[in-house]
Amino acid sequence: MNVQKTNIEGVMIIEPRLFKDARGYFFESFSEREFREKVADVRFVQDNESMSQYGVLRGLHFQKEPYAQSKLVRVVRGRVLDVAVDLRVGSPTFGKWTAAELSEDNHLQFFLPRGMAHGFAVLSEVAVFQYKCDNFYHPEAEGAIAWNDPDLNIDWRLPAQHVLLSEKDSHHPTLREWLQTINMQHATLEY
């Protein structure tokens, strides 16, 4: 596998080694040994899959500590823009985002370490999206940032009128609002 660093520490684009011939192709989608050597020493415990139509935007989701998750994501059908936002307070890239186009044609994978908000937008008619997580999902630890936060200014590569959101995803706070909530919670705990 070929590993490419991004502008955010720990977020990486992974290109598997593809073997093609007249019958089609083959590649290892995951090798624990090679992943630990070249990307990160994580142990994945849960695999998830979603299917979405054009314009669906899921995100920007994260799990709060102590249930934060690293994710390894890929597309097995279609094409998406996958986005990671650094929420690690104290990180030099806090509040910055990076993205990768993942598709059934390029076979790229995107690794997000713990502390990232994650989302994706479907750019094809349909997309089947798979991801591995290194921690189990806990509904009480859900967190999210608004997909259209003006400070983040993410280019989702979709016209706004084509964006399809869940009811929940249409009401998330901006990063600034989320930070104010955290600061207020800490202030309350201190007194």
pLDDT at 186: 46
pLDDT at 188: 41
Distance CA 147, CA 119 (A): 8
pLDDT at 84: 98
pLDDT tens digit sequence for 58-77: 999 999 999 999 999 999 99
Identified catalytic residue from 107, 131, 138, 171: 131
Domains, the chain, in order of start with CATH, read: 2-190 (2.60.120.10)
Structure tokens at 35: 């992943």
pLDDT at 138: 96
Distance CA 98, CA 94 (A): 11
Reply yes or no on whether 131 is catalytic: yes
pLDDT at 191: 27
Distance CA 168, CA 160 (A): 17
HEC assignment per residue over the chain? CEEEECCCCCCEEEECCCEEECCEEECCCCCHHHHHHHCCCCCCCEEEEEEEECCEEEEEEEECCCCCCCEEEEEEECEEEEEEEECCCCCCCCCCEEEEEEECCCCCEEEECCCEEEEEEECCCEEEEEEEECCCCCHHHEEECCCCCCCCCCCCCCCHHHCECCCHHHHCCCHHHHHHHHHHHHHHHHC
Q: Rounded to the nearest 5°, which phi and psi values hold at 176?
A: -60, -45
Percent of the chain surpassing pLDDT 90: 90
Identified catalytic residue from 25, 61, 137, 138: 61
Q: Enter the pTM of the model.
A: 0.92
Residues of the chain with pLDDT under 70: 184-191
Q: Rounded to the nearest 5°, which phi and psi values hold at 32?
A: -55, -45
Reply yes or no on whether 171 is catalytic: no
pLDDT at 183: 73
